[in-house]
Structure 1
Amino acid sequence: MNVIMTALPVENAAVLEHLVDVRPHRHRGTVIDVGTVAGHPRHRVALVSTGAGTAAAAALTERVREEFAPSAMVFVGVAGGLRDWLEIGDVVVATKIYSYQGGRSENDAFLTRPSAWSAAHSLDQESRRLVRGNAWHSFLTDRGEGETPVAYFEPIAVGDVVLNSRTSELAHRLRTSYNDAVAVEMEGSGFAHAAHLGDQVRAIVVRGISDRADGDKAAADRQGGQRLAARNAAAFAIALITALEPDGDVPEDGGQEIAPPSGPMSNSNIARDNARVDQQIGFNFGSARRIR
């Protein structure tokens, strides 16, 4: 089992496009969508929506890590670009996550005291293989002719602020104190910190560029920047999930070994383009044990 986390509804919907046999799993009030990657019946995903902000991301990262003991966790979503060479829809795989709000405020200066977390080495390595020949593009949904988003491996800055300016005090601080960060977002540091504390669970952040953090965010959103960025980030994340080892407790036919049973349920799922995925056989989560 692997976990994908998102913050916004558009991000959650983009991941759901790739899942079949999706069922709700409820844990301590949190409703988690558990499904299988379309066409990959041995790759199961628990999908969690955190809402915006680092605190919620941290709390729910720990909650789902404890519940599912995942092999890997990926935070997927949109980000504002801090570099002119980034196009709307490009993907940034975070090699490093900065928490930029830590510091000491003096009379005449803000002294930066950052925290930082690196991507899990194995996930970073698998991600880099996906850019060979743009292999991850095969997971793009509704791809237009000639559409070729690029995936970059760069640091990302994170804080509980929506940045929509290249000239504000915060923009200046990011430029001077976090100069290698190419994008900015609002959940990755909470996610990365909780993953780091959780017995070193493998974790990585994948973001699509939805705007340029330059004052035109509203216009970019109206033009579909968030939807495009979320779609591309989700495609990369799903490609990464399928590149990892399949779930060891799922039989070759994709059936789920869940016990004790409370009554069988069975259905067949049709993926995009009417391609039959497989027959999924399992039991109601309400009376079944935790999925591992």
Structure 2
Amino acid sequence: MQTNVRTAVVLTAIGVEYMAVRSFLTDLGTLVHPAGTVYEAGRFATDDVDWTVVLAETGTGNNIAAIETSRALDAFRPSIAMFVGVAGGVKDVDVGDVVAADYVYGYESSKVTETFQPRIKTFGCGYPLVQRARTVRRSDLWHKRLQSSERPKAYVGPIASGEQVIAGSNTQTHALLQTHCGDTLAVEMEGWGFLFAAHTNGDVPAIVVRGISDLTADKEPEQDRARQPIAAEHAAAFAFELLATIEAPEAQRIQPAEPWRPMSPPPPDLFGVVPGR
């Protein structure tokens, strides 16, 4: 079988996320954008696809994530894009679990008068990638890519994205998420800007994958040094399992149906009258 050669852009916000992704790549080389962004490009080979993965560290926040995503997509024209890193758990998840987003809520958009009126903006992740993420979640084969013996859970569901570090459940932002984004599993600071840029650059299929490094109801900054590398590794393992199985060579391909066309000439009705006459 001839191996396809394709390109994926993988972005991270902070160094610990970057290193977790980088550990899955071989044959690394450095690329520099004319505007100054430094990338590493490496190889990730599967049975069906030989991926060139272009990796960058954007810094934190939706604005810079959008700028760097747009820059990378324009420069490399990838088949897919992923944002991989850590997040705070909001509900139904534990530290170390992974959430692959199906939707990302931009929760900070609002109108403020005498009352607070949220105007939450939502972007969906690429549908084929979300479907593949559900398959990866069901199989648990991504655990084989972990260096540890841990067996974290994986979820596919909404993530909320804003410019705030939420360090407690008794906060206005946490109440906002509970009221208006009640199915949110995790909260972070780059996913919405990333998806906005993907949407405005030819709708490149894109997905956000996050490992849970802390919980908004129990955030201890001094524990980040221990938890973030583990959560980042879990997210990267899930993301590369997704990348490895996108083509799914064992899957049966369904052939598109022939388009419907009217019969020519149209058959007579029961009384022998041809329609249209």
The one of 11, 14, 26 equivalent to 2:20 is: 14
C-alpha distance in 2, partners of 1:187/1:63?
Answer: 15
2:163: which partner in 1? 160
SS of the residue corresponding to residue 96 of structure 2 reads coil
SS of the residue corresponding to residue 131 of structure 1 reads helix
SS of the residue corresponding to residue 240 of structure 1 reads helix
8 Å CA contact retained: 2:160, 2:188: yes
The one of 55, 66, 89 equivalent to 2:63 is: 55
Deviations 1:197-256 (A, max 9, x none): 11110000000000001253314314x11111100000111111122349xxxxxxxxxx
- Counting only pairs closer than 5 Å after superposition, residues 97-112 of structure 1 correspond to structure 2 as 97-107=104-114, 109-112=115-118
8 Å CA contact retained: 1:88, 1:211: yes
8 Å CA contact retained: 2:99, 2:157: yes
1:75: which partner in 2? 83
8 Å CA contact retained: 1:18, 1:38: no
Deviations 1:107-147 (A, max 9, x none): 2x21000110111111111111112330111211x213xx2
Which structure has the bigger radius of gyration? 2
TM-score (norm 2): 0.83
Displacement of 1:87 in angstroms is 1.3
C-alpha distance in 2, partners of 1:211/1:66?
Answer: 34
The one of 32, 35, 54 equivalent to 1:26 is: 32
SS of the residue corresponding to residue 195 of structure 1 reads helix
1:284: which partner in 2? none
> Which amino acid in structure 1 is aligned with residue 120 of structure 2?
P
> Which amino acid in structure 2 is aligned with residue 157 of structure 1?
A
2:96 maps to 1:96: no
> Which amino acid in structure 2 is aligned with residue 143 of structure 1?
S
1:230: which partner in 2? 232
> Which amino acid in structure 2 is aligned with residue 32 of structure 1?
Y
What is the aligned length? 240
2:200: which partner in 1? 197
2:178 maps to 1:175: yes
8 Å CA contact retained: 2:46, 2:244: no
Deviations 1:67-95 (A, max 9, x none): 11000000001000011x31111000101
8 Å CA contact retained: 2:41, 2:53: yes
8 Å CA contact retained: 1:91, 1:209: yes
SS of the residue corresponding to residue 73 of structure 2 reads helix
Deviations 1:3-47 (A, max 9, x none): 110001000000011111110011121111100126678121000
SS of the residue corresponding to residue 155 of structure 1 reads strand
> Which amino acid in structure 2 is aligned with residue 65 of structure 1?
L
C-alpha distance in 1, partners of 2:83/2:122?
Answer: 16
C-alpha distance in 2, partners of 1:214/1:131?
Answer: 25
C-alpha distance in 2, partners of 1:244/1:215?
Answer: 36
> Which amino acid in structure 2 is aligned with residue 207 of structure 1?
R
SS of the residue corresponding to residue 76 of structure 1 reads strand
Displacement of 1:48 in angstroms is 1.1
2:251: which partner in 1? none
C-alpha distance in 2, partners of 1:217/1:193?
Answer: 31
Q: Percent identity?
A: 40
The one of 133, 148, 151 equivalent to 1:148 is: 151
